[in-house]
């Protein structure tokens, strides 16, 4: 059985990216390309990311820097 999808908010994402939650929020508006792909729910403005997308993005960044 598959495990449920886990979502992350700015407070969860911040330590993974070594940024503050406030910086994550600002980057969403000013530099969205500097963050993993965001989960956008129609009708909601909540900042959320799927954990699996964040892990994939971090791996891709790591491979690109080699």
Question: pLDDT digit string (tens) for 37-59?
Answer: 999 999 999 999 999 999 999 99
Residues of the chain above pLDDT 90, percent:
86
Write down the domain spans for the chain: 7-64
Mean pLDDT of 4-28: 96
Each as own residue / partner, the long-range contacts of residues 47-50 (CB below 8 Å, 24 or more positions apart, any chain) are: 47/9, 47/10, 48/7, 48/8, 48/9, 49/7, 49/8, 49/13, 50/5, 50/6, 50/7, 50/8
11 pLDDT more than 70: yes
CA 40 and chain centroid, separation: 11
| Contact by Cβ (8 Å): 23, 4 | no
The pTM is what? 0.86
Q: How would residue 2 be classed by pLDDT, with cut points 50, 70 and 90?
A: low
């Amino acid at each position: 059985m598959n495990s449920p999808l886990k979502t992350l908010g700015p407070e969860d994402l911040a330590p993974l990216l070594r940024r503050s939650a406030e910086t994550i929020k600002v980057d969403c508006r000013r530099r969205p390309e500097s963050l993993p792909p965001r989960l956008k729910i129609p009708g909601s403005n909540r900042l959320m990311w799927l954990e699996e997308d964040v892990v994939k993005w971090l791996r891709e960044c790591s491979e690109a820097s080699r």
